[in-house]
Amino acid sequence: MRQTWFLRLLLVLLVAVILAAGGLLYIVSLDLAATYPEVAHLRLPLYGAMLAGLAPVVVAIKAVFDILALIDQGEAFSPCTVTLLRRLRMLVAVMAVYLTLGTVGVWIALLPLQSPSILLGWFAGEVILLFLLTLGALFERLFTAALELRQDNELTV
Tell me the three-class secondary structure of the chain, residue by residue: CCCCHHHHHHHHHHHHHHHHHHHHHHHHHHHHHHHCHHHHHHHHHHHHHHHHHCHHHHHHHHHHHHHHHHHHCCCCCCHHHHHHHHHHHHHHHHHHHHHHHHHHHHHHHCCCCCCHHHHHHHHHHHHHHHHHHHHHHHHHHHHHHHHHHHHHHHHHC
Measured distance CA(41)–CA(51) in Å, rounded? 17
pLDDT score of 113: 62
Q: What is the pTM of this model?
A: 0.74
Cβ contact 98:56 at 8 Å: yes
At residue 116, the pLDDT reads: 65
pLDDT of res. 157? 60
CA angle 96, 5, 67 (to 5 degrees): 45
Of 45, 57, 46, 53, residue with least CA distance to 14:
57
Q: In this predicted structure, what is the pLDDT of residue 131?
A: 81
Residues of the chain with pLDDT under 70: 1-3, 109-119, 122, 157
pLDDT tens digits for range 12-57: 998 899 889 888 888 988 888 888 888 788 888 888 888 888 888 8
Sorted by sequence, the CB contacts under 8 Å of residue 95 that are 6+ apart come out as 53, 56, 57, 129
